[in-house]
Structure 1
Amino acid sequence: MLLYAPAIFFLLLAVVGVLRDRRRFSNALYLGLAVTFLAFALLVTLGQVDSVLAEIVLIAVVLAPALATLVLAALLIANGFKMLRKEGRRLANLLSLLCGLGILVVVALLLAATQADSPVLVVIARTVFLLSCYLSFLFLCFIGYAYLYGRLAPRQDVDYIVVLGSGLLGGTRVPPLLASRLERGRALYGRQAATGRPPLLIVSGGQGPDEQLPEAHAMAAYLIDRGFPGERIIREDRSRTTEENLRFSRDLMAAADPHYRCIVVTNNFHAFRTALLARQESLNGQVAGSPTAAYFWPSATIREFVAVLAAHKWINLTVCGLLTLVSVTA
């Protein structure tokens, strides 16, 4: 039982964290550590079983990550080419391709270090491996908890529904990505309105340099054209970033009712990071995600993860520096 104590400890921390505030990245870390220690305990337990079947399962479990890594690299590269074909040649659309190639480079470096008689290459490979393990662990924590966060049902007794903008097509039209958010917001509105207490809906988005009108105005027009009651819409038309979306919408809601409750709507790949930002901006509400095309997911998720890393850059740089120091001095 003592072998499973760390897993139970971190699982309890994750549960307590979710109950206190589900919008914390620490919840993802606690959950990731719980799964890691549980997997370690199961492997040790399995290694103590004296049977051929146990040995086969143990070998399969050890080899599975290596095979999964190569499969993941291939899928990311394939997705990268699809993104370029469908979305155009922009850096954001290259992320899955670059990550897939990066995985292959790391694998090739590790293989070269095992074959070459070079202490320098061994140190480089060991350092890259440690850093890759750290970033992979954080990424798995991120996507695992983001998936769980997206499965938590949003509350149905809110005062406001805030739909975040995402840019206009041709400077005037609502693109499919933004339409998905608006449709989810409209569905949440309809579900609560059916109980006799319709919330107000805030469309949040300012005017970009390549747009002919603020996003909020185009979003409101989209909803009204589809039968949404215009008197239930509030336009927040100053924001240019997600942080400003949340901050300016918070100010509108708090000015009308300091005790407001809300739901923020964005795309599902963006929901968890938006939740982290909502907590940072002291916004009283959770985040709901809307559907996104499957091919868009990998690059978008990687972009969100990089943004979370950048938000905590000093602690991540410190950990990476310590890992590098350990590797070099080992």
Structure 2
Amino acid sequence: MTEKRKRSIPRIIKVFILLAAAAVLAYVGIFAYVCIRERSVPTDVPDADKYDAIIVLGAQVKRDGTPNVQLALRLDTAYDAYAQKNVPVVVCGAQGKDEPVPEAEAMKTYLMEKGIPEQDILTDPDSFNTSQNLKNAAALLKERQKIQKVLIVTSDYHIPRAMALAQDLGFEACGMGSPCKPEYWLKNHAREVLSWCKYWGVKYLHLPLE
């Protein structure tokens, strides 16, 4: 029995090494996929006939209640689109444990300070992830008439997955990416790989969303 166990150990180690190598290769492959998809993300405001509303996805709010740099860049990008065509703007994001206010409320204040009228801003302060962002935004936009096409605004690395989720929800949507700070590039893209894995798991393996 002891000899058999000794013989089986190398096989177990080999299997473990193969599985670990496969996981690393898969991660690197998905990382490359994220980077390639990102290269096709539009950064210019689309033609006015492409959207009847704008959806801005949330990000971190600082302790003083203002958007962090990444979120401010998303909001500035959304403002450029609004300046071309004054349409309803949906701002999405709940309040995290380390945030003093819901992201949507901070986003609304920021956009109002830039000059967008309050009546043109719809807030979703209840969503904690991209899927909830889009579902809640769709519910808010149903209350408005003649909303057929939406422009989704988020960070450039995030746009491809946001667009995939939007299509799953039946949106007729286009996307516009805001830049990502260089020092956060690796961290954001590494997390996006895991988010894509979760997305595929939910969609194809019917894993629970949360």
Q: Into which bin does the TM-score normalised by the smaller protein fall?
A: 0.7 to 0.9
1:232 maps to amino acid: D
Q: Residues of 2 paired with 1:206 and 1:260: CA distance?
A: 25
Distance 1:255 1:227, change over 3 A: closer
Q: Conserved in 1, the CA contact under 8 Å of 2:52 and 2:146? A: no
Question: Gaps spanning 5+ residues in structure 2: where?
Answer: 1-9, 206-210
Q: Does residue 1:219 correspond to 2:111, yes or no?
A: no
Contact 1:264 1:286 in 2 (8 A): yes
- In structure 2, the CA distance between the partners of 1:143 and 1:237, relative to structure 1 (3 Å rule), is same
Local SS of the residue matching 2:77: helix
- Alpha-carbon shift at residue 289 of structure 1 (Å): 1.2
SS of equivalent to 2:40: helix
Q: Is residue 177 of structure 2 the alignment partner of residue 177 of structure 1?
A: no
Q: How big is the shift at 1:156?
A: 2.6
- The one-letter amino acid of 1:181's match is R
Q: Secondary structure at the match of 1:228?
A: coil
Distance 1:221 1:120, change over 3 A: closer
The count of aligned residue pairs is 195
What is the RMSD computed on CA atoms of the aligned residues? 2.9
User: Structure 1 residues 225 and 152, CA, compared in 2 at 3 Å: closer, same or farther?
Assistant: closer
State the identity %. Answer: 25
For structure 1, the 5+ residue unaligned runs are 1-117, 318-330
More helix by share: 1
TM-score (norm 2): 0.78
Q: Deviations over 1:89-129 (max 9, x none)?
A: xxxxxxxxxxxxxxxxxxxxxxxxxxxxx777666555544
Is this contact kept in 2: 1:236–1:249, CA < 8 A? yes
Give the structure with higher Rg (CA): 1
The answer as to whether partners of 2:124 and 2:137 remain within 8 angstroms in 1 is yes
Q: Secondary structure at the match of 1:149?
A: coil
Q: Of the two structures, which has the highest relative contact order with CA contacts closer than 8 Å and spacing of 6 or more?
A: 2
- C-alpha separation in 1, matches of 2:24 and 2:123: 44
Matched, 1:144 2:24: no
Q: How does 1:94-173 map to 2 (within 5 A)?
A: 125-150=17-42, 154-157=46-49, 158-170=51-63, 172-173=65-66
Further displaced range: 282-291 or 121-130? 121-130
SS at match of 1:287: strand
1:51 counterpart residue number: none
CA gap 1:131/1:283 in 2 versus in 1, 3 angstroms:
same
1:1-330 superposed matches below 5 A:
125-150=17-42, 154-157=46-49, 158-170=51-63, 172-190=65-83, 192-193=84-85, 198-257=86-145, 259-313=147-201
Q: When the two structures are superposed, what TM-score results if normalisation uses the length of structure 1?
A: 0.52
- 1:188 shift after superposition: 1.1
Please give the alpha-carbon distance, in whole angstroms, between the structure 2 residues aligned to 1:183 and 1:151. Answer: 12
